[in-house]
Structure 1
C-alpha cells in the first residue's frame, strides 16, 4: 500500500484523482459502518419491554458492548458512534444519503448530528435536514468554529431554542479537568465557582501558602497549587504546607501529605529507602493507590446460588456505578541499583489511567513520603481459600491488567471490580482466575452471559478471551504485557472445582435497575436544555426591549429644541418622515 515504486508510476493528474476517489470511498465506508452500528443498536433497543428498559444493562448497553468489541472502541466512543448512526437513520435521512455517497466526511457528519440533537419538532428537523443537505458538501473546508456556525444557522432559523449554547453559558457552576496539551506529570483544570466560594478557596490557599518559611524556593502561585493538592488529600484538617527549604530543623519540614497518600508498587530485588532514587530495570514498575498503608481490597460481588457473581453494590443509576477513590493511583516505575538516566527512558512511571509520571517527579514522590510496595511474583501467589482476594493478590491483578479486561474498555483497574472468571466457589481465588472488570462490563458478564450472551475465558498469559453472542471472539491483552514485556505474568489457570452449594447466604443476584429508562433520561436532559435555552432567549429579548425603551425615552427632547424655522413652542408633526435633529 505504501510502496513508492507502485505509486511512482502514476502521473500527477492520476495521483490526485486517486486521492479524491480514496477520500470519497473513505466517507462511504464510514457511512456503511455507521449504518451497521445503527442496525445493531436497533435490534437490541427496538421493542424492548419496560422491564429490560429499566435495567442498568438494557438493550443500549448490550448493543454498546457488541459495538465496542467489534470496533475496538471504548464504551464512550462506541456510544457516540451509536448516537450518530441512529441520528442518521432516524432523524437526518437527506444528510445520511449525502454521507452514503461519500460527498461529506465523517467529521462533518459528527458535528451535524451533535449540533441538531436538541431539535425535537419533526417538521423543524425535516427543514433543517433539507437545508443542511443542500450545502453540506461545502462544509469540509470550514474550520471547526465555522462549521458550527453553518449548522447553527439553520437550527436558529427553524428551532431557536435547540441551538446548543456554550458549556460556560449552559452551566453556571462547573469544574473541568485535563487538556490534551498538558505536559507529562501535570494536568490543567478550570471552572466556575460562586463568588463567595471563590473567595473562601482563595483565602484558604493563600493562608496555607504563607505557612512555609522564607527559604522555601517556590513562588506563591506554586505554593497555592501545592496547597490545593494537599487539601484534596488531607481535607479541612490541613494546618500547614510542607516546606521545601531542605532544612531538617524547619518547623514545616517533613513528609508531604500528597506523597504519603501514594503507593508505588514495584518489582525489584530490594526496596529502596526513602532517600533512594528510582531507576529502571526490566519488569513492571509501581502504581500508587490511596492511603499510606495501602487500600483494602475492593469488595467483589457476592456469588449467587448458581455460582454466578454480582457487583458489590446494586446501584440504581449508572452515575453511581464507579466508586472513585480519594486519590487515583500514581505510577508504575521500575527500580534497580543503577542511577536514573543511565538508560534511555529510564525511570518513567505510568499511572493506571495511562498518565506518564516523569522520573524526576517519581523520585520526588519517594523522597517526600510515598510508600514503596514490592509486588509479589506470580509464583508466590498461590490459590487463596477465601472469596475476596488478599491485598497482595489484588495489587498483582490490577497492576497486571491495568484496565478493565473487556475489549476496548480503558477504565483504570483501580476503579474496577475484581471478578472471578470462573465464578466462585467453583472458580479459585487465584491470579489466573481474577480479572478487573468495570461495573458495566461486570454486569454484562454476570447477567448477559450464556448461550445468547457473552462468555469469557482466562488465558495463561494474562489475556482475556471474550466470545460475543454472535460467536465472534475478541482478546483483551493486559497492559503489563505491552508496557513491561519482561515481567513474568504467565500462570496456569486453575480448572473449575466440583462443588455443590447446599445453601446460599447471599440471596439471589438481581440486575440493578434505574429509576428512568435510558430514553426517558435522554428526553429529560434534552427538554431541560431546551427549557434553559428558552429562558436565556427570553431574558435576552426582555433586556433588549428594555434597552430600546430606555434609548427611546432618552431620545425625546424638550419642545424648544425643535427650532427649525417653526415658531418656538409650535408642535412638531409626528408624521414627519425626517424629524429634526437634536
Structure 2
C-alpha cells in the first residue's frame, strides 16, 4: 500500500514483481499506462456527459469561449492541480484516445507502450484528416508497436510517422512544404537567437558541419562543445575564421582553413530507400540517418539533388563475405551499411543515437587471437551501439547483450540487466530491409569469445561527485557575479542622480 496525502493506493491488485529491479520497474510503467488510459476514458465520459447536459454534440461548432470543452478542461485543471494549458492537452488527448486512436490507446492500457510513446503517436497523427485514413493509421501503428518488443518514445514516433508517410504521403508532403524555409533572428534582454527552418537533410548537414568544424580545435581549447559549435556557426555564416582558442605557441592546429575544408568535404547524410521508390514505381517510406522516416516524395526529392550520390546495396552478396579479406575484424562497406541501416539507431532500448554516429559492436566478442573461435563479423553478430552503451556492454559487470534472428529472419536485440530483467527489441528498420536477417551465415558457432581486460576501460578526469560540486560552484559564482553587477549598477545610478527635490 502506498500512501499519498493520506489516501491509500492499493498496488496489490496490479501484477507487480516482488523484488526491486527491472521487472518491477516495467510493471510500474505498465500501471502508469493503465492509469493514464483510465484517466482518458474518464475525461472523455465527462465530455460526453457535459455535452448531453448542454444539449449539444461533441462535434458541434461552438464559438463561445466558455463552451463544453472549456468547462470540462477547467474541472480537469482543478482536479489535477495543473495549468489551463496542461488541462486542455489532457482533454485533447482523451478525445484522441477514444475517437481517433483507440487501438494504440489499448496498447497503453495493456502496458505495451508508455505514456510518452502514446503522446508521440498523437503528435504524428494530429495533422491527418479523414476518419477512414486515421483508422488505418491507428490500426497499422498499433499492429507494428505490438510486435516491436521494447517500445521507446522514439520507436512509437517513427512507427506512427512511417504509417502516415505510407498511407498519407501527399498530406505529409503538404505539411512539410507548409512549414517552409527561412531564418529568424530574435532579440531578448540577455541575448539573441537565430533559428533556421530547413529540410531534414540540410539540417543534418548543418549539424554535422558544425561538429566537424568545432572538433578541429586542439585538446587544450578551453571552450566547451556547445561554445565551439556556436563559434563555428558564426564563422561559417559570416565568412570568418574559426580558430583554436588554446593560446599555446605549440598548438598543433596550424592550418585551420585546410583542416576545416577537409572536415567539411567528408560530411555525408545517409538515406536508405527502396530502389522502386526512387524510380517512382513504389511508395515505400525511406529512412534518413539522424532524422528517421521520410515519406516517398521526400525520398525522390533527396535522390534528385545535384549533390546526391546513389549507391546500390548488395545485401545478397554478404553471403560470400561480410568481413574484409585482409582484416576479419572489420566489416566490408556493404556489411557496415546494411547493419547500420537495419538498426537505424543505437540498439540499446530507448537510445536514439543515430546509427552512423554510433560504433559497430560485435555482440559476441571478437577473438583477436583466434578469429574463427570468437564472435563473427557478420550481420547476425553486429549491431550499432553509441559509444556510451558500447562501453557499458564491454565493461559493465552483470549485463548480458545478445542478438537473435528468428525463424522469419527478424533480427532481435536482447539486453538482460544484472537483476535478471530482459528487454527484447526488434531492429527498427526491419520493415525497410527485411532481407538483412535472411543473409546465410558461413561461419561456425562461437566457442571462445574474446576476453576484455578491464584495465583498458577509459577513466573519468574526475568523479561524478567532484563534477557535480564543480558545477554547483560555477552556478554560485555566476549568481554572485550577477548580483555584484546589479549592486554596482544601482550604486552608480544613485551617485549620478540629482538630489531629491525636498
TM-score (norm 2): 0.46
Larger radius of gyration: 1
Which of 1 and 2 has higher RCO (CA within 8 Å, sep 6+)?
Answer: 1
Larger helix proportion of the pair: 2
